[in-house]
């Protein structure tokens, strides 16, 4: 058993799992916003970074890590709510290119503002967990207490979001507002509030992903630190299906493990081409994603 857990393939899976849950969380945020407002939020990574800076920036003032971690979530949610209310809402009903241009502009703006306030140098984040991998006898398992925390935080958050949508009245209103806004309004649902809340939840989820990324041994906290995870999360969401939260999570974990194997057995420079190849092949076979059913309407 020790030899199996410390084998090369299992090590790649464990390493890919840590990256994959980050990709899955970013993909989940994209899916939540897409389902609610039909907007592809290309600024999600930058908004998550902004939330992480607002929370983890307090580490410089000797605030404990757990308080900083918890504060990063409402900070990200606040950015998401303000963005939907003042930037995205006036664009509803406009040509589809308008929100895309606005989100790209917001991405550039947030990274510039974060860089001007906190600087562009990497800021170290020291979580209360060890970076040292576990050992089985004389063998090393590619899993550390920090990695366990990162995976656990992502899984708990994903389960909480799933429970919110499936088992609560608020979740029912969120789903109804996304699927049938006019009917929801007739039933007394404050659709505009639900859309804002959907953006807030998505950006809160992405802020957790930014905290996980920045608490890594190498990455740290930088204004552009979420660009790579956002690209992978976008691929994960497209592969899983932009209508499926489950697809985004499964796609993210699968993509993380695939990238780990490509890096180990092939060449790290081929990670992005292989990921894009997977995206193209999946969309050729299933244009709506692996976990999204195409709805056929009769006219």
- Residues 175 and 171: their CA atoms lie apart, in Å, by 6
Residue 218 has pLDDT above 70, yes or no: no
Domain count, the chain: 1
Residue 236 has pLDDT above 50, yes or no: yes
Q: Which of 17, 33, 14, 16 is nearest to 245 (CA)?
A: 33
Residue 299 has pLDDT above 50, yes or no: no
- Residues 198 and 178: their CA atoms lie apart, in Å, by 9
Arithmetic mean of pLDDT over the chain: 88
Domain interval for residue 160: 2-285
Helix axes 191-214, 227-240, angle to 10 degrees: 130
Residue 138: inside a domain: yes
Residue 299: inside a domain: no
- The structure tokens 């919110």 sit at 164
Residue 103: inside a domain: yes
Residue 295: inside a domain: no
- Residues 35 and 31: their CA atoms lie apart, in Å, by 6
Residue 208: inside a domain: yes
Residue 123: inside a domain: yes
Q: How far apart are the first and last CA of the chain?
A: 59
Residue-wise pLDDT for 47-86, tens only, equals 999 999 999 888 888 899 999 999 999 999 999 999 999 9
pLDDT at 296: 46
| Residue bearing the bigger pLDDT, 139 or 244 | 244
Residue-wise pLDDT for 159-183, tens only, equals 888 888 888 898 888 888 877 888 8
pTM, full prediction: 0.91
Residue count of the chain: 299
- Residues 262 and 250: their CA atoms lie apart, in Å, by 18
- Residues 23 and 257: their CA atoms lie apart, in Å, by 11
Q: List residues bridging with 135 in a β-sheet.
A: 140
pLDDT at 130: 85
Instruction: Point out the least confidently predicted range of 174-178, 258-262, 279-283.
Output: 174-178
Residue 87: inside a domain: yes
Q: What is the CATH number of the domain that holds 171?
A: 1.10.3470
pLDDT at 259: 94
Q: What percent of the chain has pLDDT over 70?
A: 94
Residue 211: inside a domain: yes
Residue 224 has pLDDT above 50, yes or no: yes
């Amino acid at each position: 058993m020790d030899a199996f857990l410390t084998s090369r393939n299992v090590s790649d899976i464990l390493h890919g799992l840590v990256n994959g849950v980050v990709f899955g969380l970013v993909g989940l945020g994209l899916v939540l916003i897409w389902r609610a407002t039909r907007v592809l939020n290309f600024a999600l990574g930058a908004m998550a970074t902004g939330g992480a800076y607002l929370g983890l920036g307090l580490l410089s003032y000797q605030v404990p890590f757990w308080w900083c971690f918890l504060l990063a979530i409402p900070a990200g949610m606040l950015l998401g709510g303000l963005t939907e209310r003042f930037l995205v809402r006036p664009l509803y009903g406009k040509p589809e290119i308008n929100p895309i241009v606005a989100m790209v502009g917001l991405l550039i703006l947030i990274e510039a503002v974060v860089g001007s306030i906190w600087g562009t140098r990497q800021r170290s984040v020291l979580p209360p967990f060890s970076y040292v991998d576990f050992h089985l006898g004389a063998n090393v398992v590619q899993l550390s207490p920090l990695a366990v925390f990162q995976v656990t935080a992502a899984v708990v958050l994903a389960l909480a979001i799933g429970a919110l949508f499936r088992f609560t009245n608020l979740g029912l209103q969120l789903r109804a507002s996304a699927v049938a806004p006019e009917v929801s309004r007739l039933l007394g649902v404050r659709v505009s509030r639900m859309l804002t809340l959907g953006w807030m939840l998505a950006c809160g989820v992405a802020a957790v992903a930014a905290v996980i990324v920045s608490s890594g041994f190498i990455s740290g906290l930088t204004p552009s630190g979420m660009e790579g995870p956002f690209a992978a999360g976008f691929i994960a969401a497209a592969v899983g299906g932009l209508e499926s939260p489950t697809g985004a999570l499964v796609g993210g974990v699968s993509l993380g493990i695939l990238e780990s194997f490509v890096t180990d057995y092939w060449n790290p420079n081929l990670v992005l081409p292989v990921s894009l190849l997977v995206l193209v092949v999946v969309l050729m076979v299933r244009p709506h994603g692996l976990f999204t059913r195409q709805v056929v309407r009769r006219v």
